[in-house]
Amino acid sequence: MSKEQIIEQAEEHILHTYNRFPVVFDHGEGVYLYDTQGKQYLDFAAGIAVSAFGYGNQEYGDALKAQIDRLIHTSNLYYNEPIVRAAARALAASKMDRVFFTNSGTEAIEGAIKAAKKYAYTRDGHAGHEIVAMNHSFHGRSIGALSVTGNKHYQEPFAPLMPGVKFADFNDLESVKAMINENTCAILFETVQGEGGIYPASQAFMEGVRALCDAHDILLILDEIQCGMGRSGEMFAWQHYGVRPDIMTSAKALGCGVPVGAFFMTERVAEKSLAPGDHGTTYGGNPFVGAAVDKVLEMMERDRVTDHVKEITPYLEQKLDELAAKYDFISGRRGMGLLQGLVCEKPVGAVAAKALERGLVVITAGSDVIRLAPPLIIERQHVDEMVEKLDDVLHNM
Ligand X SMILES: *Cc1c(COP(=O)(O)O)cnc(C)c1O
Q: Which residues bind ligand X (CB under 6 A)?
A: 104-106, 109, 138-140, 190, 194-195, 223, 225-226, 251-252, 261
Name the E strands within the chain: 25-29, 32-35, 40-43, 98-102, 130-134, 165-168, 184-190, 192-193, 199-200, 219-223, 247-250, 261-265, 330-336, 339-344, 360-361, 363-365, 369-372
Q: Work out how close the CB of 298 gets to ligand X at its nearest, in angstroms, rounded to a whole number.
A: 22
Output 229 or 324, the one with its CB closest to ligand X: 229
Output 139 or 240, the one with its CB closest to ligand X: 139
Instruction: Name the nearest CA neighbour of 201 among 367, 335, 363, 316.
Output: 335
Q: Work out how close the CB of 103 gets to ligand X at its nearest, in angstroms, rounded to a whole number.
A: 8
* CA gap 391, 375 in Å, rounded: 20
Q: Work out how close the CB of 125 gets to ligand X at its nearest, in angstroms, rounded to a whole number.
A: 31
Output 110 or 130, the one with its CB closest to ligand X: 110
* β-sheet bridge partners, residue 188: 221
- Sheet strand arrangement including 360-361: 25-29, 32-35, 40-43, 360-361
Output 257 or 290, the one with its CB closest to ligand X: 257
Backbone dihedral region for residue 95 (phi beyond 0: left; psi -120 to 50: alpha; all else: beta)? left
DSSP 3-state percent helix, strand, coil across the chain (nearest 5): 45, 20, 35
Phi, psi (deg, nearest 5) at residue 52:
-60, -35
Q: Work out how close the CB of 293 gets to ligand X at its nearest, in angstroms, rounded to a whole number.
A: 14
* CA gap 74, 338 in Å, rounded: 36
Q: Work out how close the CB of 152 gets to ligand X at its nearest, in angstroms, rounded to a whole number.
A: 18
Output 188 or 300, the one with its CB closest to ligand X: 188
Q: Work out how close the CB of 105 gets to ligand X at its nearest, in angstroms, rounded to a whole number.
A: 2
Output 219 or 260, the one with its CB closest to ligand X: 260
> What's the number of CA atoms in the CB half-sphere (13 Å) around residue 38?
0
Give me the sign of the Cα torsion angle 128, 132, 136, 141.
Answer: negative
* CA gap 397, 383 in Å, rounded: 21
DSSP string of 197-243, one letter each residue:
T-EEPPHHHHHHHHHHHHHHTPEEEEE-TTTTTTTTSSSSGGGGTT-
Output 198 or 394, the one with its CB closest to ligand X: 198
Output 19 or 396, the one with its CB closest to ligand X: 19
Q: Work out how close the CB of 198 gets to ligand X at its nearest, in angstroms, rounded to a whole number.
A: 11
* CA gap 95, 79 in Å, rounded: 23
Q: Work out how close the CB of 145 gets to ligand X at its nearest, in angstroms, rounded to a whole number.
A: 7
Q: Work out how close the CB of 260 gets to ligand X at its nearest, in angstroms, rounded to a whole number.
A: 9
Output 82 or 150, the one with its CB closest to ligand X: 150
Output 184 or 226, the one with its CB closest to ligand X: 226
| Furthest-apart CA atoms within the chain: distance in Å | 62
Output 139 or 319, the one with its CB closest to ligand X: 139
Q: Work out how close the CB of 282 gets to ligand X at its nearest, in angstroms, rounded to a whole number.
A: 17
3-state secondary structure of 25: strand
Q: Work out how close the CB of 346 gets to ligand X at its nearest, in angstroms, rounded to a whole number.
A: 24
User: Cβ-closest residue to ligand X?
Assistant: 105
- Cα separations (Å) of 2 from 6, 155, 259? 6, 37, 28
